[in-house]
Amino acid sequence: PGASGVCKQAGGAVPSTSSASTSTAPTATTTTVRAPSQASAAASAADIVEADPEHSLLAALSARAGAVASGMDTDDALATLQAYVGLKFWPGHSVLESLGNRLQILAPTMTARQVGGLLHTYVGLKTRPSDSLLAAVAARAEEVVPDMDINDLINILEAYADMQLNLAASLWAALERTAQGDAPKMSAHQVATTLLVSAKLGHQPSTLLAQALGRRAQELAPAMNPEDVVDTLNAYAQLMLHPGELLLQALLLRAEQVAPEMDAKEVAGTLSAYARLEQEPGSQSWSRPTPTP
């Protein structure tokens, strides 16, 4: 994830600053509240919020949220964090720490939806949960994988990729089994996202998962929009996983059909993926083509 903060100026403009800042009393007209830079991302200045009546209210509510966090249930704690994402308001480290500590206690009782929602929310906040919270959530995720739907699965995979986190082998295996079972119901975007996230995390899908995703991609290829065509082609290229001749030709045919709708980035991405996928797949650097659906 990028290093830019989640906060914005009240008027809608998003200025930057490289100076350190702290939260002060909500009545001070010069108060600034800013998100920290991500350790894993390139260093850049965070955005700020200039204090006004609206943000003074948010500061007051945030102070109270930190005070009552220990009594919140999972939905309340998640709703609080999600509100900060929606408002693009940075509540401060102490508030996040209080909410994180409460969520760590609640993690063993979270549903699959709540696990995915929590990770996705931290991505929106552009910050990383504490190691102890991550460990508790990962342990719970593995327990509730059988209850996950496709959206829960995608949320978790995307969150780990965006936060540049590694999944434990046991959690990977559980998520792959769920993705394999859900593949026949996936949308084109979900197929592409599953492949792209695997590529981002440097994880080669299992043979069974690759086959299931390939079959679904071939079913959906004739109706894919430009973004999904490009993402699917690029995912296979980044994974160095040849999709098989039938699927490759179906994707290239669709790319030709939607080429007039592509923007500059999509054109470049399609050409780049095409060049790589046209290489001889028998090379040792490429995985074997997936079987023909």
Token pair listed for 198: 């695997």
What confidence score (pLDDT) does residue 172 get? Answer: 87
Question: Cα separation of 133 and 223, whole Å?
Answer: 41
Query: pLDDT (tens digit, 9 = 90+) per residue, 243-252?
Result: 999 999 999 9
What confidence score (pLDDT) does residue 97 get? Answer: 96
What confidence score (pLDDT) does residue 181 get? Answer: 92
Element holding 10 (H helix, E strand): none
What confidence score (pLDDT) does residue 27 get? Answer: 42
pLDDT over threshold 90, residue 268: yes
Label each residue of 206-242 as H, E or C: CHHHHHHHHHHHHHHHHHCCHHHHHHHHHHHHHHCEC
What is the rounded average pLDDT for all residues in the chain?
81
pLDDT over threshold 50, residue 73: yes
Question: Could you count the other beta carbons within 10 Å of the beta carbon of residue 46?
Answer: 24
> Comparing 118-127, 154-163, 229-238, 281-290, which segment has the lowest mean pLDDT?
281-290
Among residues 18, 8, 19, 13, which one has the least CA distance to residue 48?
A: 8
What confidence score (pLDDT) does residue 169 get? Answer: 86
This prediction's pTM? 0.68
Question: Cα separation of 79 and 85, whole Å?
Answer: 10
pLDDT over threshold 70, residue 90: yes
CA 44 to centroid of chain Cα atoms: 20
**Phi, then psi, of 22 in degrees rounded to 5:** -140, 165
Question: Cα separation of 60 and 46, whole Å?
Answer: 22
The SS3 call for residue 169 is: helix
What confidence score (pLDDT) does residue 211 get? Answer: 94
When pLDDT is cut at 50, 70 and 90, the band that residue 201 belongs to is: confident
Contact 33, 90 (CB under 8 A): yes
Token pair listed for 160: 């780990």
What confidence score (pLDDT) does residue 72 get? Answer: 98
Burial class (CB in 10 A: 0-12, 13-18, 19+), 57: exposed
When pLDDT is cut at 50, 70 and 90, the band that residue 167 belongs to is: confident
pLDDT over threshold 70, residue 197: yes
Q: Where are the beta strands (DSSP E) in the chain?
A: 16-17, 32-34, 46-50
Question: Cα separation of 54 and 261, whole Å?
Answer: 42
What confidence score (pLDDT) does residue 75 get? Answer: 97
When pLDDT is cut at 50, 70 and 90, the band that residue 151 belongs to is: confident
When pLDDT is cut at 50, 70 and 90, the band that residue 282 belongs to is: low
CA angle 276, 249, 214 (to 5 degrees): 85
Question: Could you count the other beta carbons within 10 Å of the beta carbon of residue 185?
Answer: 10
Mean pLDDT of 201-210: 90
Query: pLDDT (tens digit, 9 = 90+) per residue, 221-246?
Result: 999 999 999 999 999 999 999 899 99
Adjacent-strand bridge partners of 50: 32
Highest mean pLDDT among 46-55, 95-104, 176-185, 268-277: 95-104
When pLDDT is cut at 50, 70 and 90, the band that residue 285 belongs to is: low
pLDDT over threshold 50, residue 7: no
Token pair listed for 57: 């209210």
CA angle 116, 122, 125 (to 5 degrees): 145
Question: Cα separation of 39 and 281, whole Å?
Answer: 38
Query: pLDDT (tens digit, 9 = 90+) per residue, 23-67?
Result: 444 444 333 344 444 443 333 334 434 445 567 899 899 999 999
Query: pLDDT (tens digit, 9 = 90+) per residue, 92-150?
Result: 999 999 999 999 999 999 999 999 999 999 999 999 999 999 999 999 999 999 888 88
